Structure 1
């Protein structure tokens, strides 16, 4: 069962860790490339702030973004800002998201995200947790997939294997970290078994690792669609 209150607390903790780490940067280092192609660290921080506000929109019943172009333009506009402005924006937008999470509401209701994707409102805090944790890794400032909280890793593996379940481009696949196993890909008996540490598995599923540390039995390591 999803516990949105617990997830909101996890979002706060993850945001605090990110802000503490990012505070050690400077204006020059925020202009340097992040681990995301075409994005500087400033782009990552700007995206985190705008995503928090976008999820406030989702919880309020408004469109997540005015449009895809508006989303991209806002990130480009905000990316070059000085570090102090970036950190303040991430902090204040996080506070707005946290405040939205305290408003009495039916957390079982269905909400709409981008591109027609729908989900339970109760899962929105977890989706925000994903944004904060993975983009902390993307900043390339010493936080790695091995540093992700264990609970987060297990839930993100389950979330992403479910996301790729039934995807025509992914062969029927069994994924295991040696303790737990998940199924993903097209329907049918698993053609490939992918195994490795939980950190390497989540890094591969989330597009943050190339999968070279994983073992694929029964075939090649599947190529995953972009998130």
Structure 2
């Protein structure tokens, strides 16, 4: 499946719209509820997602201008930014997310074709071509939308997203994966075979599902991290 950022950008726009709709459904007290990320409330998660959009703007600026612009000044600055925005009221969180998403959309539109091949670095330090930024942002939005525990589940993911996720190098390739019709989705040598719906396979491999909808000898994913 293609990883072309200009092909994926409409998917990012739709994922962002779904996220913003979920945020708009919250009340101020809802933001204090826990998420699937240990120690983070919904407020922390939303603050992270907004700052992550700005981090990706930095990476695209780096690719476009040639001036090294890290996603975050430092890991400490990243954490401080999340904490600083976590306790804000809903109106501020929603406005911030919308504005940060618009900044990222503008940065994507401003990219000349040759800039997409420039190597930048994710916050983890992993070098990637700038073309991967759009896909990385889709992953942030779709996975953390589930983490909000607000009714959006892996079953709500668009069909193409979990398929791409299964083949992503960052996803643990711990088993040969088969869909319910018997179609082999991913082959891993000397690994057990696990079967189930595509979204359930992707949810299990990314820690958003416990594998109860799957069949087969599920390996311990901790060994694959």
Q: TM-score, normalised by structure 2?
A: 0.88
Instruction: Specify the alignment match of 2:56 in structure 1.
Output: 55
2:165/2:171 contact within 8 Å kept: no
CA separation in 1, counterparts of 2:44 and 2:166?
26
Instruction: Specify the alignment match of 1:89 in structure 2.
Output: 96
Q: For residues 9-29 of structure 1, give each alpha carbon's deviation from its aligned partner in whole angstroms, at most 9, with x where no partner exists.
A: 211111111111211111101
CA separation in 2, counterparts of 1:39 and 1:225?
25
Q: How many residues align?
A: 214
CA separation in 2, counterparts of 1:88 and 1:101?
20
CA separation in 1, counterparts of 2:161 and 2:214?
20
Match of 2:172 among 164, 171, 175: 164
Q: TM-score, normalised by structure 1?
A: 0.87
Moved over 3 A (4+): 162-165, 224-227
Aligned pairs for 1:53-132 (under 5 A) are 53-61=54-62, 62-105=69-112, 106=114, 107-132=116-141
Segment of structure 1 superposing worse, 207-216 or 23-32: 207-216
Give the unaligned 5+ runs of structure 2: 63-68
CA separation in 1, counterparts of 2:224 and 2:186?
19
Give the unaligned 5+ runs of structure 1: none
Change (3 A) 1:78 1:225: farther
Return the offset for 1:163.
4.3
Query: Which has more helix, going by share of residues?
Result: 2
CA separation in 2, counterparts of 1:224 and 1:197?
22
Change (3 A) 1:197 1:121: same
